[in-house]
A and B are shown apart, each in its own frame.
Chain A
Amino acid sequence: MRVKVWGCRGSLPASGPENNTYGGNTSCIQVTQGDTCIILDGGSGILRLGKFLSPEIKEIHVLLTHLHMDHTMGLGFFIPLYNPNIKVHLYGPSTSNEPLVNRLRRYFSPPLFPVRLSELPSHPIIHELNKSEFSIGEVTIQSEFICHPGPTLGYRIMSGKSVFAYLPDHELQMGASNFPNYPEWTSGYEIAKSADLLFHDAAYTSKEYMTKIGWGHSSVRDAIAFGKMCGVKKLALFHHEPTRSDEQLEYMLKESTQHLKLDFEVELCAEGTVYEFE
């Protein structure tokens, strides 16, 4: 299994020379295993992903964690959606009332976007998920609702013995009792436990978080505590604030880890990084 980062910025694309190391595109991850191509989220990073996709690929599975703009804004610019020879599946969280296809139509319609879903050369195949387990090729996927405003899923991607967990937007303090002491009562634990690699929301410093409780995001310190609770092998901090420069991100990580003795790796997620699993 191969995991490539095409976007790890949160909220809004933030291009600029001060963001060259970690990148400015919003959430988009490519997971490949043999002929299987899975894309996690359709943030602005999906534009470049679409440009560099192998011409051999005829079927693509796009799994959306939720429908906030930074996770969907790139969909209309995803080239395979305009290629009738490529079958595109779109997965996203179900709700009690409104079908996913209707919620996606809000984006694919004026004034937000000129092309309607029905005007695409072939309509994407829509799959609604909640607490689900399913397979795409040799990859098994588990999804579960996690703590973030509006219906939001976390994904656990498994291939052979390798596990990749994806929780890009997740508020740990709101979704846990006595965090980080009770795994059973912590949102996202089932998704991330014992993962080889965890991408987790780490938008804020601990001080910033105190003024943004309920906004759906976590601090670097909480993300690290969650990684430790889950027994992950590697944690890559995700959802970088759009106002934060490379230098500021590195300072944040240093400040948060300098007094910790960790038995797993912690790093800042960076656009272009590739992780390979056996």
Chain B
Amino acid sequence: MPAQPLELILARQFGDSLSMPCFLVDPDGNLLFYNEAAESIFGLRFGETGGMRVEEWSTVFKPTDGDGNLLVPEDLPLVQTISTKSPAYGSFYIDNLKGDRFQITVTSFPIMGRPDRFLGAMAMFWKTEEL
């Protein structure tokens, strides 16, 4: 597999060193990495999943609205960032693989490399009750 561009390597390093949850995807929205803090929300270690296609991760982690209806990928801030190459923000619920339910607030932003290359996106998120 070809190596990732430097900007994504450094983004992963950055995310890996944070205690706040973070999620990293490539320009097609495929999952590249999520950190230890995110593992506690998803109920799944990154080492168990590895990378995933956008169709997989957007359903594996079961994002839902307040009534429990599954959100389509296009409603997720990170997927919006991938399609618009702009920051996005949103709040929704995650039903994780351990059966826990969390409301989370997500801020996502594009990763633009020098000189103007779109390389992927990163999302930082929080359990809403912590805000």
**Interface set of A (CB-CB < 8 Å, partner B):** 93-96, 128, 130-131, 144-147, 151, 174-177, 183-187, 189-190
Contacts and interface: CB of A to CB of B under 8 A. Distances in A.
Contacts of B10: 147, 174-175
Interface residues of B, number: 18
B115 A96 contact: yes
A147 B112 CA distance: 16
Given A94-B114, A130-B114, A131-B117, A144 B4 contact: no
B66 interface: no
A187 B5 CA distance: 7
Contacts of B114: 93-96, 130, 145, 151
B12 interface: yes
Prevailing SS type, chain B contact patch: mixed
Interface in B95-124: 112-117
A176 B10 CA distance: 8
Contacts of A175: 6, 9-10, 13
Nearest to A151: B114
B7 interface: yes
Interface in B24-48: none
Given A147-B6, A187-B3, 18 more contacts: A94-B115, A95-B114, A130-B115, A130-B117, A131-B5, A145-B5, A174-B10, A175-B10, A176-B13, A177-B9, A177-B13, A183-B3, A184-B4, A185-B4, A186-B9, A189-B3, A190-B2, A190-B3
